[in-house]
Structure 1
Amino acid sequence: MIHIKPFDYIFYRIATSKFYQKLDSKTPYIWAFGSLSFCQLCNVLTIIGIFQTIHGKNILSIPNLSMKIGIPLGVFNILFVTTEKKYRWLIEKYKNEENRTLKGWFVISYVTISILTFLIITDFCL
Structure 2
Amino acid sequence: MKDLFYYIYYRASKFYEDWGESNGYIGGRMVAAGSLCFIFLSIMIPVLHYLFNEKINTDIAWIVVIITSILSFFLSQKRYKELAEKYKDEKNSRLKGWLVFAYIIGSVILYFVSLALWG
CA apart distance, 1:91: 1.2
Q: What's the counterpart of residue 101 of structure 1?
A: 94
Query: What corresponds to 1:58 in structure 2?
Result: 54
Percent identity, please.
23
Alpha-carbon distance, 1:105 to partner: 2.1
Q: TM-score when scaled to structure 1?
A: 0.83
1:85 to 68, 78, 95: 78
Task: Give the unaligned 5+ runs of structure 1.
Answer: none
Larger RCO (CA within 8 A; separation ≥ 6):
1
* Cα deviations by residue, 1:75-107 (Å, 9 ceiling, x for unpaired): 12212xx21110111111111111112211220
Number of aligned residue pairs = 119
1:1-126 equivalent positions in 2, closer than 5 A: 4-17=2-15, 20-21=16-17, 25-55=21-51, 57-61=53-57, 63-79=58-74, 82-126=75-119
| RMSD across aligned positions (CA) | 2.0
